[in-house]
Structure 1
């Protein structure tokens, strides 16, 4: 899996896990993407750094260098929105 895809997938499910504290599937899925990022891409210190009106900034370290990847907020929050809008999951 490409780094950009793994970061985006981690971000989406991280937002779900933060919003749905009792959702063990979200936590397990987040941990799966975290494992991909740490083992396959050697990323450390991964976190959501900043959220503004249009973007979410993800901070991480790669090979000793600090990096920030920006994602469109609307796209990143879509999974959580879809889950919340589907009565089957609420």
Structure 2
């Protein structure tokens, strides 16, 4: 998987997990993408920032600080899709 795709997938599922902190599948998927980013792309120190229109992921790769920007609407689409589907809106207690 390309670095940009892995970062975007991590961002989308991170947004889901933050909105649904008891969702173990979301947590496990975040951890999966973090492992992939670490092992396949030597990415560490992932952070995200949000403004009105974009998400910015800052990360370190091979000792160099880098960033990648994604449109806010695209990044939040997975959460919107999950929330719109009744079978996925159950309690995760």
TM normalised by structure 1 equals 0.96
* Structure 1 segments of 4+ aligned residues over 3 angstroms from their partners: none
How many residue pairs end up in the alignment?
Answer: 89
> What is the Cα-based RMSD across aligned positions, in Å?
0.6
1:85 aligns with 2:84: yes
Shift of 1:62: 0.6
Unmatched tracts of structure 2, length 5 or more: none
1:37 equivalenced with 2:37 (yes/no):
yes
Cα drift, residue 63 of structure 1: 1.0
Q: Which runs of 5+ in 1 are unaligned?
A: none
The structural deviation recorded for 1:53 is 1.1
